[in-house]
Amino acid sequence: MKKVHFKTFGCRTNQFDTQIMLSNLKNFTIEDDDSTSDIIVINSCTVTNGADSSVRGYISSIKRKNPNAKIILAGCGAHSKGDALFEENAVFGVMGHSEKSNINNLLQKETPFYEIGDLNYVDSSIVENFVGKSRAFIKIQEGCDFDCSYCIIPSVRGRARSHKTETILEQISLLASNGYGEFILTGTNVGSFGKDIDTNLAKLLKKISLIRGVRRIRIGSLEPIQIDDEFKELLDESWMAKHLHIALQHTDDKMLGIMNRRNNFIEDEKLLNFISQKGYAIGTDFIVGHPGESEQIWENALARINALPLTHIHAFTYSKRDATASSVMKDIVKGDIAKVRHAELTNCINEKNRIFRESNHTNLEVLIESTKNKNSYKGYDQFYNLLEVKSKLDLSNSWIIAQNAEVRNDKNFFEYEC
C-alpha cells in the first residue's frame, strides 16, 4: 500500500479537516515521516501572506528531500493559491474543501488533478476516533458572514452554514462510546451555528450534554454579539468548561471600526464582567499593529485590556493578507512597534492569568493527555489552564482532580499519588 503523510498548517478547523481526510482514506497507510512517503497531503492555511510563504517553503523542502513524492494541496491555500501552484507544477494535485470525502479516489489518480469543488458544501463525514488525542474536536459549522477588514476567510471558506444537528450528535455519541469525555466545538465562526437551520448554539449544547459519556464541552471561539440570553442561561451547567474564548480583536472603538468589527467596548465590558462573575476564565483574540493603530489608540486599548477580566490571550501581530480591505490601508504600524505592543499585551494577560490561578488552584478537574515522558503528564483544567502532573501511575487519557495545585509562573503543578 502507498504511504501518505499529512502536514497540517493553521487552526483547529484545519486539524479537524485532516481528521476527516484520514477517516476517508482506505487504500493507503499513514506515514509519520514525510521523507519516506509516496504522497504528501498539505492541509494548508492562507490566513496571512506569511502563512502562504510557510506552505511554499514546505513544498520546496519536500521537493529537495523527497523529489518523487506526489504533493497534494488541500485546505484554505487550495482556494487562494491552488491554481498558481498547479500551473507551475509545484503540486501534483489540488483538492478543495468539499473534496475531502473523495480523498481516497483522488489519491489514486495517476495524472495531475485540480478538483477545487465548491464553497457551499457541508461535511457529512463522521470521525469516530481522534488518533492520539484525549479530547475530540467537533466541527459544527463552516464559513463566516462577518467580513472583518483584515480577514480572507470568507472568500476561502465560504459563507456561514451549519452542520446538521443530527450529524453532530451522531458523531459525538460515537466518540463518547469510544471513550472520549471532552468535546471541543469548532468551526470558522462557531457562534453562527444554527442561523441557517432555525436553531442556535445553546439548543445544540443542551442536546450534546444529554449524551451519555459527555463530561465537558468547550467552545472554540465566540463573537461577543453571539452570546445571547439563552446561552447565558447555560453558564452554570456543570458540563460547560469554565472557560470561554470570546474574540474581541481590539478594545478601542475607532480601531474596531477600522477593522469592520461588529463589537464595541462598552458592550464587551458588560458581557465579560457578567461571565467572569459566574466564575469563568476568559480568553480572547487580539490583533496588534493593524493599520491605523496610533500610539493614542494603543494606550487606550491597553488600559482597557488591563481593566477587563481576561485570563488568556491569542495575540497576533497584524500581518498583511493580499485581497483584503486592510491590505491597502495607510498608517501602517512599523514592525518593531507592533512587536513591543505584542509583548506588552501578552505580559499583561500572563500576569492576569497567574492572579486568576492563585484564586483557582483547588478542585481542578483535569483531562490528562497521553505522554511520551514517563511519570510526567499534562492536561488542561476546567479553566483551560495547563497542569503539569508528576505520577508513577499511568494517567494517560484519564480524568484527575487536583485538590491543591502549586501555582507556578506559567502553569500549575501537581503530584498525583492515588
Grid cell in block for residue 212: 451519555
Residue 240 · residue 233 · CB < 8 Å? no
Q: Helix 295-307 and helix 335-359: axis angle, to 10°? A: 10
Query: At closest approach, how far in Å is the CB of 202 from ligand SF4?
Result: 19
Q: What number of other Cβ atoms are within 10 A of residue 336's Cβ?
A: 8
Query: At closest approach, how far in Å is the CB of 241 from ligand SF4?
Result: 21
Alpha-carbon gap, residue 62 to 192, rounded angstroms:
38
Query: At closest approach, how far in Å is the CB of 76 from ligand SF4?
Result: 11
Question: Which residues are 387's β-sheet partners?
Answer: 379, 412
Cell 463566516 -> residue? 144
Nearer to ligand SF4, 189 or 311 (CB): 189
Nearer to ligand SF4, 115 or 223 (CB): 223
Query: At closest approach, how far in Å is the CB of 192 from ligand SF4?
Result: 9
Nearer to ligand SF4, 246 or 301 (CB): 246
Query: At closest approach, how far in Å is the CB of 48 from ligand SF4?
Result: 12
- The HSE-up count of residue 296 (CA atoms within 13 Å, CB side) is 3
Nearer to ligand SF4, 41 or 301 (CB): 301
Nearer to ligand SF4, 123 or 170 (CB): 123
Nearer to ligand SF4, 130 or 137 (CB): 137
E-only strand ranges, 89-219? 93-95, 113-115, 135-139, 141-142, 161-162, 182-186, 216-219
Nearer to ligand SF4, 123 or 147 (CB): 147
Query: At closest approach, how far in Å is the CB of 153 from ligand SF4?
Result: 4
Q: Shortest CA distance to 57 belongs to which of 92, 17, 90?
A: 90
User: Which residues of the shown chain bind ligand SF4 in the complex (CB under 6 A)?
Assistant: 144, 146-148, 151, 153-154, 188-189
Q: What number of other Cβ atoms are within 10 A of residue 267's Cβ?
A: 12
Query: At closest approach, how far in Å is the CB of 322 from ligand SF4?
Result: 15
Nearer to ligand SF4, 208 or 313 (CB): 313
Nearer to ligand SF4, 144 or 184 (CB): 144
- Residue 180's φ and ψ, nearest 5 degrees, are -75, 135
Residue 289 · residue 338 · CB < 8 Å? yes
Q: Shortest CA distance to 42 belongs to which of 11, 78, 16, 12?
A: 78
Nearer to ligand SF4, 126 or 325 (CB): 325
Question: Which residues are 185's β-sheet partners?
Answer: 138, 219
Query: At closest approach, how far in Å is the CB of 354 from ligand SF4?
Result: 29
Residue 278 · residue 236 · CB < 8 Å? yes
Query: At closest approach, how far in Å is the CB of 144 from ligand SF4?
Result: 3
Query: At closest approach, how far in Å is the CB of 168 from ligand SF4?
Result: 20
User: ∠ CA(223), CA(228), CA(229), 5° rounding?
Assistant: 155
The secondary structure element, H or E, covering residue 53 is helix 49-65
Residue 143 · residue 151 · CB < 8 Å? no
E-only strand ranges, 131-254? 135-139, 141-142, 161-162, 182-186, 216-219, 243-245
